[in-house]
Structure 1
Amino acid sequence: MAIVPFKEAFRVWVRVAIYSFGGPAGQISVMHRILVEEKKWIDENRFLHALNYCMLLPGPEAQQLATYIGWLLHRTKGGLLAGGLFILPGFLSILLLSILYAMYRDVEIVEAIFYGIKPAVLAIVIGAVIKIGKRALKNGIMLSLAILSFIAIFFLEIDFPVIILMAGLIGFFGGKIWKEKFLVIKGHGDKTEDKDHLSDYYSEPVKPSLFKTLKTISIFLILWSFPLIIIAGIIGVENIFFSEGVFFSKTAVVTFGGAYAVLAYIAQKAVEDYGWLQSGEMLDGLGMAETTPGPLIQVVQFVGFMGAFRLHGTLDPLMAGILASVLVTWVTFIPCFLFIFAGAPYIEYLRGNKNLTSALSAITAAVVGVILNLGIWFAIHTFFGSFKEEHFFGIRILIPDWNTLNLGSLLIGMLAAFVYFILKWDMLKTIAISIISGIIYFFIFNAG
C-alpha cells in the first residue's frame, strides 16, 4: 500500500503541471525540487535512474518522467494521473492560442506577452542545466563526457541517438575498468541509499511479468489506433484527420533527442507536402510551445489545428481545428504511456545491475551536454533576429548577426536572470515580471 495518499499526489501533480515551463530542463528541475527535495517522495538515485530511461525513449522526456514517478508511487493510476495532468495545461493553452492565432492573427497583446516571456524561459532553462549538471557530473570523467557530448551535437552535428549509444557503451565498459568513476547513480541494493524518501519503503522491485507486459502493449496499441480506425470507418482515409493521425503517429516514435530533433522534419512536411502551414508559421507555433506549460512537442497540436482549420471540408473550421488538436495530442502521447508502463517494471527491476547503472550514469552526463546545446540554440534565437551557419572542416559554427541583436530581449533576459538567480524568485514570479516588462517595452518602443 502506498504511503503517499492519492489525493495529496493529485494536488502535487497539479502543482508540477502548472509550473512546467522552461522546456525539459526546467520541467525536470521542477520535479526534482518538488518531489525529491521538498516532498521526499523519491530519492536522488531513483530519480536519475528513471530520468536516464526516459532520455532513451522517443517523445518528451519530462512528461515520461512524470508518468514514471507517478507509476512508481501509485502504479498505473498514478502514472495516468501524473502524465495526463502534465499534458493538460499545455494542451489548453495552445488550443486557446491556436484559436486566437487562426482567427485574430495580429493581436498585439499576445505578441507582446510572447516577447516578454521568452527571455524568462531562457533564464529558467540555464538554471536547470546548472542544477542538473551539479547532480550528474560528479567527477572529471562525467564532466568530460558532457563536454564531448556538447561538442558532438553542437559543432559536429552528430545525431542524438548516436551520442547516447556511444555514451552508454563508454559507461558499460568503463564501469568494468574504473567502477568508482562510472557508478555515479547508486543501485537499489546500495547501502548508502537515502532512506528518508518514502518510495524506498514500499516500492521494492518486483520481477516483471511477460504476460502483463504483453497485455499492457496490446491495450495501448488498441488505444493508439482506435481513433484512426473510427475515422477510417466513418469518413474514410482521404481526409485531413486521418492524414494527421497517421503522420503524427509516425513522428511520435522518432522524436529521439527531444522535440527540436524532429521539428524541422515536421515543418517541411506540413508546409511543402501537406499545406497545413504557411511558411514561417512553424516558428509562431514553436513560440507558443516554448512559452506555455507542458512539453515542447505539444507544438504538433498547433500544426494539427491549423491544418484542419484550413482543410476542414464540410465541417466548421473552428470545430475541425479543435477536433484535430485532440486527435494529434492523443496519437502523440499515448505511445509515451505505453513506453513507461511496459518498460518501467524492467528498469526498476534492473536498478541494482552495475553494468546498467554505469551505462546510464554515462548517458546522464552526455544528456547534460545535449541540454546545454539546446540552451545555446534557444539563446541565439531569443536574442538575435538572424544568424549564419558556417562549416569549417566538418565543424559547424553559428555566427549571430550582431546588427539584429534584440536589445529588449537582452534587457528582459538580464532582469529575469537577476530575479531568478540573485533574488531567488520562483519561476512563476520570474515569468510574471518578464511578461510585464515585455508588454511595457513592446508597446513603448514598438518592439518586434
Structure 2
Amino acid sequence: MTELETTDDKAVAPEFISFQEACRYWFKLGWVSFGGPAGQIAMMHLELVEKRRWLTQQSFLHALNYCMLLPGPEAQQLATYIGWLMHGKLGGLVAGSLFVLPSFLILLSLGWIYLSFGQLGIMSGILYGIKPAVTAIVLAAAWRLSRKILSNIGLWGMAIAAFLAIFVWHTPFPLIVLSAALLGAGAGHFYPGKLNGGATHQQKVLPIITGQRQVPAHAIFRWRSFLGTIAVGLALWLASMAGLYGLYGWDGALTQMAWFFTKAALLTFGGAYAVLPYVYQGVVEHYQWLTANQMMDALALGETTPGPLVMVLTFVGCVAGWSQAVFGPEHLFLASAAAAILVTYFTFLPSFVFILAGGPLVESSQGNLKFGAALTGISAAVCGVIVNLAVFFAVPVFWPGHIDVFALTLGAGALLALIRFQAGVIKVILGCGLAGLGHWIAGAWLF
C-alpha cells in the first residue's frame, strides 16, 4: 500500500464532522463500492484521508491493520471502525450498515428476478457467459494472493498442503485454518523472521480525527464497556437462535442457516474467497440448499454488485429460502427474503462486535499486535483453498460432460484480461455476459 504513504498528514482537518454528513457519505459509498476490498479500501482512503481530511494517514492505517487481522469483510469492518472512531458506537453501527444496505437491496431484487425468470433463455445466456468470467476471477485472485504471500518454500508447501487437504481428502475448512495458524505460529516462534506477516502490525500511530490530537473519549479502553459490548452481541445472537429454535426446532432450515452462517462469519480470514469453499461444502454438498450451478450464479451476481463480496452469502440465503420453501409453496418470495435477512444478520453480527468491542483496545495498544506469523500461515493456506474453489467452479463450466470450447475460450480471455491487461472485474463480467448473450442469440437464430 505504498501509494497510501504519500498523503500529507499535516493538512488541516475540518473542525467538526456532523453525524448527518457522515451518514450521507456512508450511504453514498454503499452504492458505489465496486471493485472488491482493495478497491473499496482505496475509495475510502482517497475520500476520507486525501479529499475530506476526516482522518489522518496514521489513523487510517491503524484501523486497517486491525481489520486485516479479523475474520470477516475487512472493507466493511474498516467503515465500521472509522464510523465508530468519529461518532462512537452509533456511528459504527450506521457506517457498517449503510455500507452493505444497497448491496442487500440489489441482491434481494436480483434474487427474485433470478428465481422467477432464471430459466428464460436470455438470462441463461447471460449467466452462461458470466460463469467462465467468475472462474477466471477466482484464478486471478489466487494468482495475485500467491505473488504477495508465498515468499518462500515453506509458505508454498503450506499452500499446496491446504489444496491437497481440501481437494483430495475433503478436510473441513475450519480444520485447515486452525492447522495453518498453528503451523504459522510455530514457524514464527522457532524461525523468527522467516514469516513476514507481522511486519506491518508493529507501527506506532497517533489517532487524529477532526483536528484533534488525542484519543476520543469513547475510544479509551474500559473493561466495563468491552465486556458489555461482547455481552450485548452474545445476547443478540442467543436470543435470535433461541427464537428460531422455538419456532422451527434445531433441524429447521432457518435455524440451520443461522448456525451455519455464524460459523462461516467466524472463518472468513483472507476475504470472501477464502470462506467460499467452506460455504460451498455446506450449502451445496452437505445441506443441498443450492446446486453447484446456483452457487456459481450467486458468485457471478455478487461480483457485479457494490458492497463486500461476502454479500454473495445474502444471495445464497435468498436462493436457499426459496428452494426450501420454509413458509410453504405459496410464500416463496417471503421465504427467500426472510432467509436473505437472516443470513445477512448472522454474517455481519460478529464483525460489529469485533469492531465495537475491540476498537478501544486496539487504540490503546498503539499497534502492538503480534499475530503476524499465524496470519501469514492462514494466508498461505488460503491460497491453496482458493485454487480448489477455482477447480470446483471450472469443472462444471468447462467440462459439462464434454469440453465446452466457447466457455473455455471465454474463460481464458477473461483471465488474460484480468492478469495481463489489469482489466476491471465489472468490465470483464459485463463483457463475458454480453458474449454469452450473443452466443445464445446466435444459437437461437441458427437452430
Would you say same fold, with TM above 0.5? yes
Pair 1:214-2:208 in alignment: no
Alignment deviations for residues 218-255 of structure 1 (CA, whole Å, 9 cap, x no partner): 21222223333333444555532223222322332233
Percent identity among equivalent residues?
Answer: 33
The answer as to 2:338 corresponding to 1:323 is: yes
Asked if 1:311 is matched to 2:317, the reply is no
- Note closer, same or farther for the CA distance 1:45–1:184 as it changes in structure 2 (3 Å cut): farther
Deviations 1:183-232 (A, max 9, x none): 6567446xxx797x647635458541111112111212222233333334
Report deviation, 1:348. 1.1
Q: Which residue number in structure 1 is paired with residue 355 of structure 2?
A: 340
Task: Summarize the Cα distance change of 1:71–1:235 in structure 2 as closer, same or farther, 3 Å threshold.
Answer: same
Q: Is the 8 A contact 1:58 1:256 kept in 2?
A: yes
Q: Mind listing any 5+ residue stretches in structure 1 that lack a counterpart?
A: 389-400, 422-426
- Deviation readout 1:82-125 (Å, 9 max, x if unpaired): 11012212212221222122221224554566546985997899
Deviation at 1:324, TM superposition (A): 1.3
Shift of 1:346: 0.5
From the superposition, tell whether residues 265 and 49 of structure 1 become closer, same or farther in structure 2 (CA, over 3 Å).
same
Work out whether residues 26 and 124 of structure 1, in 8 Å CA contact, stay in contact via their aligned partners in 2.
Answer: no
1: distance between equivalents of 2:259 and 2:354?
Answer: 19
After superposition, residues 246-257 of structure 1 pair within 5 angstroms as 246-257=259-270
Change (3 A) 1:236 1:93: same
Residue number in structure 2 paired with 1:65 = 78
Please give the alpha-carbon distance, in whole angstroms, between the structure 2 residues aligned to 1:352 and 1:13: 26
Q: Which residue of 1 aligns with 2:436?
A: 442
Q: Which residues of 2 match residues 5-154 of structure 1 at below 5 A?
A: 5-110=18-123, 115=129, 144=151, 149=155, 152-153=158-159
Alpha carbons 1:95, 1:302 under 8 Å: kept: yes
Deviation at 1:59, TM superposition (A): 2.1
The residue correspondences of 1:396-407 to structure 2 (distance < 5 A) are: 406-407=408-409
Give the partner amino acid of 1:407: T
SS of match in other structure, 2:158: helix
When residues 259 and 443 of structure 1 are mapped into structure 2, their CA distance, relative to the original with a 3 A threshold, is closer
Partner residue in 2 for 1:350 = 365
Q: Which residue of 1 aligns with 2:254?
A: 241
> Is contact 1:116-1:412 (8 Å) kept?
no
1:31-66 deviations in whole A, cap 9, x for unaligned?
A: 333333333333344333323322332222222122
What displacement does 1:263 show?
2.7
> CA 1:253/1:289 → structure 2, altered by over 3 Å: closer, same or farther?
same
Letter in 2 for 1:285: A
Call closer, same or farther: CA 1:273–1:116 in 2, change over 3 Å. closer
Deviates more, 1:162-171 or 1:50-59: 162-171
Conserved in 2, the CA contact under 8 Å of 1:217 and 1:338?
yes
Instruction: In structure 1, give the amino acid aligned to 2:268.
Output: T
What code does the residue aligned with 2:439 have? F
Aligned residues: CA RMSD: 4.6
Stretch moving more, 43-52 or 63-72: 43-52
Q: State the Cα distance separating 1:345 from its structure 2 match.
A: 0.9
Quick check: 1:267–1:282 contact (8 Å CA) kept in 2?
A: yes
Q: Which of residues 299, 309, 323 in structure 2 aligns to 1:296?
A: 309
In structure 1, the residue matched to 2:6 is: none
Indicate the SS of the match to 1:280.
helix
Query: Is the counterpart of residue 201 in structure 1 residue 223 in structure 2?
Result: no
- Contact conserved, 2:31 with 2:306, CA < 8 A, in 1? yes
Q: Which runs of 5+ in 2 are unaligned?
A: 1-13, 166-175
Q: Is the 8 A contact 2:158 2:377 kept in 1?
A: no
Q: Name the counterpart of 1:277.
A: 290
Partner secondary structure for residue 21 of structure 1:
coil
Q: Does the 8 Å CA contact 2:69/2:375 hold for their aligned counterparts?
A: no
Shift of 1:300: 2.6
Structure 2 CA distance for partners of 1:74 and 1:111, relative to 1, 3 Å:
farther
One-letter amino acid matched to 1:312: V
Give the Å deviation of 1:76.
0.8
Distance 2:271 2:298 in 1: 16
* CA distance, structure 2, for counterparts of residue 301 and residue 87 of structure 1: 10
Q: Distance in 2 between matches of 1:169 and 1:200?
A: 41
CA distance in 2, matches of 1:112, 1:199: 54
The one-letter code sitting in structure 2 at the alignment partner of 1:262 is V
Q: 2:24 & 2:388 partners in 1: Cα distance?
A: 34
1:383·1:405 contact (CA, 8 Å) conserved in 2? no
Secondary structure, counterpart of 1:41 in structure 2: coil
Structure 2 CA distance, aligned partners of 1:49 and 1:366? 22
Are residues 327 and 238 of structure 1, via their aligned partners in 2, closer, same or farther at CA, if it must alter by over 3 Å? Answer: same
Distance 1:368 1:103, change over 3 A: same
8 Å Cα contact 2:269-2:378 kept in structure 1: no
Query: 2-side partners of 1:184 and 1:249: how far apart?
Result: 29
Relative to structure 1, the CA distance from residue 266 to residue 163 in structure 2 (aligned partners, 3 Å threshold; closer, same or farther) is closer
Length-normalised TM-score, structure 1: 0.71
Note if contact 2:85-2:216 (Cα within 8 Å) is conserved in structure 1.
no
Q: Which residue of 1 aligns with 2:171?
A: none
